[in-house]
Amino acid sequence: MVKIMVTGATGLLGRAVVRELQANSNNQIIACGYSRAKAGVHKLDLTQSASVMAFVDTQRPDVIVHCAAERRPDVSEKNPAAALALNAEATRSLASVASQSGAWLLYISTDYVFDGTAPRYAENALTHPVNFYGDSKRQGEVIITGAKQDFAVLRLPILYGEVETVQESAVTVLLNHLLDTTEQNIDDWAVRSPTSTADIAVAIAQMILAKTAGTTLSGYYHFSASNTMSKYQMLLIMGELLGLSTQHLNPVTSPTDSAKRPHDCTLSCEKLASLSIQSKVPFEVGIERALALSPNVMSIFK
């Protein structure tokens, strides 16, 4: 039996990870959340170091998958202290207690640790974030790799999946532009690789299986879908899937966001590919599946 603690278990990625890991009867899942903690989820404030230490000491997990994060660049820019508290300092507490207990820690990071000027980024590429969100996650990475343990960092691009509201994902929130049929300018400058959380969850489960079987997994890893596209291009695909017009959307080929974004952070995923861990879900298939599993969202279009 492998005891696996998942932080951010009530979030977009965390829910998918818990669901995938629970499908293996050899796993015992310790799901942790905070603001949306409910039955079956331990309420744990990751910014309270003493509570984190005591919880891990009591539960004694073999693996910790650290999904919890402040993932919104604009929010991070406006409240950097809160972003650091979750993305860096909470990571420091987990790394410390995992080092003491012998648990393997997998830290979920972002392609935004790169500046977007030289894709495709290899796992050993130099980081140079252009916004505070990226920098806060980079600080978390430094904590993980500085722990002198065989911990791992998994960098991911923009995510979508089964959502409770469109706001949960930077991809599904774009659906609001389809509902509002007034003329709108949409970013057609920044290049992203929208990736399914269900696909990522399978990769994380495979990483844990490999680790528990004796494979050395430490340092930096990348996982990403192969599709690359702008927000405008994502909307064209989602509009076609939903039978909604995109004629009111105007592509803008210059930056449009309030917090600075990198142009193209496309990731090279060679290290996981060498372990036969690769994305297999194209955006058109993954987003259709995710929307079908999100009744609260689909009800908006009826």
- The per-residue pLDDT for range 210-265, each reduced to its tens digit, is 999 999 999 999 999 999 999 999 999 999 999 999 999 999 998 876 668 899 99
Q: Is 250 a domain residue?
A: no
Picking from 204, 195, 163, 202, the residue whose alpha carbon sits closest to that of residue 282 is 195
Report the domain count for the chain: 1
Residue 186 lies in a domain: no
What pLDDT does residue 191 have?
96
Quick one: CA dihedral 154, 158, 163, 164, positive or negative? positive
The residue range of the domain holding 90 is: 2-160+195-227+265-281
Report how far residue 148's alpha carbon sits from residue 136's, in angstroms, rounded to the nearest whole number: 20
Q: Per the domain annotation, does 42 fall within a domain?
A: yes
Q: What's the rounded Cα separation, in Å, for the pair 97 and 245?
A: 52
Residue 300: band (very low, low, confident or very high) from pLDDT cuts 50, 70, 90: confident
Residue 9 resides in a domain: yes
In a domain, 251, yes or no: no
DSSP SS3 for 274: coil
In the block, tokens 């995992």 appear at: 98
CATH code: domain of residue 17: 3.40.50.720
Token pair for residue 149? Answer: 């343990």
Catalytic residues: 133
Residue 170 lies in a domain: no
Phi and psi for 25 in degrees, rounded to 5?
A: -65, -10
Give all strands of the β-sheet with 63-66 in edge-to-edge order.
42-43, 27-33, 2-7, 63-66, 104-110, 152-156, 219-222
What is the Cα–Cα distance from 154 to 66, expressed in whole angstroms?
A: 10
Is 68 within 8 Å of 6 (Cβ atoms)?
Answer: no
Handedness of CA 88, 197, 268, 96 (dihedral sign): positive
pLDDT of 123 > 80? The answer is yes
Query: Are 188 and 254 spatial neighbours (Cβ–Cβ below 8 Å)?
Result: no
Percent of the chain with pLDDT over 90: 86
> Kind and range of the H or E element at 142?
helix 132-145
pTM of the model: 0.96
Buried/exposed 176-187: b ≥16 CB within 10 Å, e otherwise = ebbeeeeeeebb
pLDDT number for residue 256? 74
Residue 155 lies in a domain: yes
Identify whether the C-beta of residue 252 lies closer than 8 Å to the C-beta of residue 219.
no
Distance spanning both ends of the chain, measured CA to CA: 45
pLDDT at site 258? 64
Under the banding of pLDDT at 50, 70 and 90, the label for residue 44 is very high
Q: Is residue 57 one of the residues assigned to a domain? A: yes
